[in-house]
Amino acid sequence: MEKAILSKKIGENITQCLACSWYCKIAPGKVGICATRLNRNGVLYSLVYGKAIGLHLDPVEKKPLHHFLPGVKVLSFGTLGCNFSCLFCQNWEMSQINKSQPRLNRGKNSEKELTELIDQLSITISPAEIVEMAKRKKACGIAYTYNEPAIFVEFTHDTAKLAKKKGLYNIYVSNGFESIETFNFVKDYIDAINIDLKSFRNEFYQKVSRAKLSPVLDNIKRFFQAGIETEVTTLIIPNFNDSKQELTAIANFLANISTDIPWHISAFYPAYKMLDVPPTPHKTLIQAYDIGKKAGLRYVYIGNVPDLVHSSTYCPKCDQLLISRLGYKIEIKEINLKTGCCKNCNQKIYGIWN
């Protein structure tokens, strides 16, 4: 347990968490929406600082990042908890289990039960040990992923700051609900981010993710304009967010920020509380791909299905194949880039390549 730096007192023993855009006001003995930040006697604590889950070596393409050092490996980890409650969450056993304990927020034993659960399901590890592990495994960097990194922002900050000193990159995989305080706290240490844009309707965010849309839109702009390599992912769920109108709105929003922003279109598979929804048809993904291209986006990718043509990178000027990708393991077949430019026409390609 570690004191939460991103917090402030707003009344007698009442704390306000500043980690994400919920800005939870937390009474003594209670936790915020993510169920990881606890008010103990008027002081806010992070229950997941130094409590990691995952610690896997992954291809950077699985984050997904397609414009960031293709083919490198990153050490990925997350924690328990999340500030969203997505009905389709594929990592729900990490992100939601601490929020569903029957005694949570009730009675004097709830803190003990919650901390015991976190200890039971996590690995106790310091930022220095994570950085050491990444170096030992010859990772190029560290990815803060699986759940929302904003909820363990002090842990990510300390790890990312040390990783930078050791020559490692830092990657956020995020739902885009960071507060401005979290953004300012970590922006100097984050090299790349993939943000989920789950829908372009607040109704979807409220009903399906128990969240809000506007902070996500703000953060996509904020991270991109800060010079952090930014990519966006939309998981397309049949009959929920797959209309031509909505996909066009998403594509136009991204293009209005920059046509350089890579847009990843992912296929949905039944999970968690949406087991009765069918997988995304391939033709729907192709339709979304075409919509993104029509909106002017230079880099659109289909994910979660084997599709060599629509998962590869092409030069937006001469259409030269730049990076060939295939399969769920993201096998890199070919790279035709030189110092971040197309080898054929010398067009500069958005991303971090060297």
**Angstrom distances, CA of residue 207 to CA of 91, 236, 278:** 19, 16, 19
Averaged pLDDT for residues 127-139: 98
Other CB atoms within 10 Å distance of the CB of residue 347? 16
| Res. 335 pLDDT band, cuts 50 70 90 | confident
Averaged pLDDT for residues 91-103: 81
**Angstrom distances, CA of residue 78 to CA of 19, 156, 166, 204, 342:** 16, 9, 20, 25, 35
- CA gap 94, 87 in Å, rounded: 14
pLDDT in tens, 52-75: 999 999 999 999 999 999 999 999
| Res. 103 pLDDT band, cuts 50 70 90 | very low
pLDDT given at position 249: 98
Lowest mean pLDDT among 7-11, 136-140, 297-301: 7-11
pLDDT in tens, 296-316: 999 999 998 888 899 999 999
Query: What's the predicted TM-score (pTM) here?
Result: 0.96
Q: Reading across the β-sheet that carries 169-174, which strands appear in turn?
A: 123-124, 51-59, 73-78, 141-144, 169-174, 192-196, 229-236, 263-267, 300-303
Q: Is pLDDT above 70 for 105? A: no
pLDDT given at position 109: 57
pLDDT given at position 20: 98
pLDDT given at position 102: 45
CATH of domain 51-329: 3.20.20.70
What integer best gives the mean pLDDT of the chain? 94
| Residue 70 in tokens | 């293709």
Q: Is pLDDT above 80 for 160? A: yes
Rounded to the nearest 5°, which phi and psi values hold at 233?
-120, 135
Q: Is pLDDT above 90 for 334? A: no
The residues spanned by each domain of the chain are 2-46, 51-329
- Rounded percentage of the chain residues whose pLDDT exceeds 90: 90
pLDDT in tens, 201-225: 999 999 999 999 999 999 999 999 9
pLDDT in tens, 254-268: 999 999 999 999 999
pLDDT given at position 84: 97
Cα 124–Cα 128–Cα 129 angle in degrees, nearest 5: 50
